[in-house]
Chain A
Amino acid sequence: MRELFARKGLTVLAAILVIFAVGLVGFYMFSADYGDGLEVAMDDADVEESEPVYTGPLDYGDNYLSSLLMGIIGFFIVLSSGYLLARLLRKNDS
């Protein structure tokens, strides 16, 4: 994990999060009220989404600040999970 938190790595991580924070403004201005391609196809066919068999402990939030927070939490969960998994795969080889 050391290389991720070296100076250059930190700059990259910060840049991604800044782009996300700015992009999220556009999301709430133009897209938040609409469904994606599959959801619209389900609407067209009058298909109701059934109850999920599992509900995650978090959601993506319903306003700018909560979505920003959830995005940052998710970012670090994916970052650490991806790193640990890749390390594990590499370690198995050696």
Chain B
Amino acid sequence: MIEIFQILLTESFWAASLRIATPLIFGVLGALICEKSGVLNLGIEGIFVAGAMAGWMAVWLGTGLWGGVVVAAIAGGFFGLIHAILTVTLGLSQHVSGLGVTLFATSVSYFSYRTALPKVSSPPRIEPFRPLEIPILSELPFIGTVLFQQTALTWLALFMVGLVWYVMNRTGLGVAIKAVGDNPNSVDAQGLSVYGLRIGAIVVGSALMALGGAFLTMSAFDAFFFGMVNGRGWICIALVIFASWKPGKALLGALLFGAFDALQVRMQTEVGAKVPSQVFLAAPYVLSIVALVIAARRAEYPRALLTPWFKGQR
């Protein structure tokens, strides 16, 4: 037990927690926007891959880091649009369509990567985002290391939490998105476009998910690997239920998750000899399932989630 407290007191532990949480923050926010509008987006895992690949590839081709971020978001929006057409315009099963988008986005990304770089054995590297050092603040003893040595993408993620909260709770657009996920007929009666709101929400949400992927190749690492997303998208789908579709709780959930993951890596080195390393590797996934089971009963799903809506059909 002493070891755990010692770990909790280190700066590197808290810095790592925030770093691990960053892609999840993007992913959970994206999933939250989609689901609030009434559409489950299981394309998330593939959109993470697409964002990671497209962002990295753009930087590698010379767009610059922020150019890569934009390209990743556009790629995410594109695959989101496919999901939107299938589930909103055509009203198809959101489960199957989402899985289809995941498989499609993943295979497009892998195929493009292999086609662009047919013969590389070790993946080529880019110059990733550097920690954003702020002159005086970065010198602060504890906070300085934890907060002010994160990269710009982590700051963007934290900013997005505030922005999504503001749009969902303080603007007419947010009210409309929430209404379209609860009672699309009432939105239609107001003269707003159910299709437009839902498609827009899915495209924007998917673009955010793709930034989570881009963080992996452009900040956490500096190259693209096959299988690097490794279920992070699915974890976001579990976290959004745990967060009961609230941006603040989504941040909390992602941070808790990041802290747990950072802890397990450090525990592994402490007690590695006694416990098989797989116990620690499996812990994040087990934790997600436990969080889901705890949250599922009291979760207030958006009422029209999974229900397609057609104009003129009541």
The yes or no verdict on A and B being binding partners is no
Query: Residues of B with Cβ closer than 8 Å to A?
Result: none
